[in-house]
């Protein structure tokens, strides 16, 4: 099992940027596909972005395309989510996720390794 710790959340005005980080420990980080989910109050946890173990392939939910960028540094055991042009509807708790599958599932119920989350609040 891998342990995941997120950081980088905070309060930002609409149009601003944040970079989330997720540091992993406990297992070989490069063996894991990684990604980010988010959960807004009263809503289900939803997929945001994912990246393969070697960083060769990424995918995003439609609302994140063109604004968010996921990346990873296997030497630092860290995955990042750069979020630009933030909107109030991006407000949520953002969770780092890991999977031993080639790609991270986009359904939360199929993911078994989670961080505790970091809160992002975008004010209008």
Query: Can you tell me the distance from the alpha carbon of 68 to that of 53, in angstroms, rounded to the nearest whole number?
Result: 19
Residue 88: pLDDT above 80?
yes
Higher pLDDT, 27 or 54: 54
The per-residue pLDDT for range 6-38, each reduced to its tens digit, is: 999 999 999 999 999 999 997 789 899 999 999
For the chain, the farthest-separated pair of C-alpha atoms sits apart, in whole angstroms, at 41
pLDDT at residue number 26? 75
Q: Which two tokens stand for residue 114?
A: 């989670």
Q: Which two tokens stand for residue 95?
A: 């969770």
SS3 state of residue 95: strand
Distances 48 to 55, 75, 105 between C-alpha atoms, Å: 16, 24, 11
Query: Can you tell me the distance from the alpha carbon of 46 to that of 78, in angstroms, rounded to the nearest whole number?
Result: 21
The per-residue pLDDT for range 68-86, each reduced to its tens digit, is: 999 999 999 999 999 999 9
Mean pLDDT of the region 84-98: 98
pLDDT at residue number 3? 95
């Amino acid at each position: 099992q891998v342990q995941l710790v997120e950081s980088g959340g905070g309060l930002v005005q609409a149009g601003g940027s944040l970079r989330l980080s997720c540091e992993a420990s406990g297992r070989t980080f490069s063996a894991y596909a990684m990604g980010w989910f988010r959960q807004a109050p009263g809503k289900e946890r939803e997929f945001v972005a994912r990246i393969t173990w070697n960083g060769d392939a990424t995918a995003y939910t439609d609302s994140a395309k063109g604004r968010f960028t996921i990346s990873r540094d296997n030497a630092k055991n860290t995955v990042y989510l750069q979020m630009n042009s933030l909107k109030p509807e991006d407000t949520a708790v953002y969770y780092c996720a890991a999977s031993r599958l080639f790609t991270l599932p986009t359904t939360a119920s199929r993911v078994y390794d989670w961080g505790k989350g970091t809160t992002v609040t975008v004010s209008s």
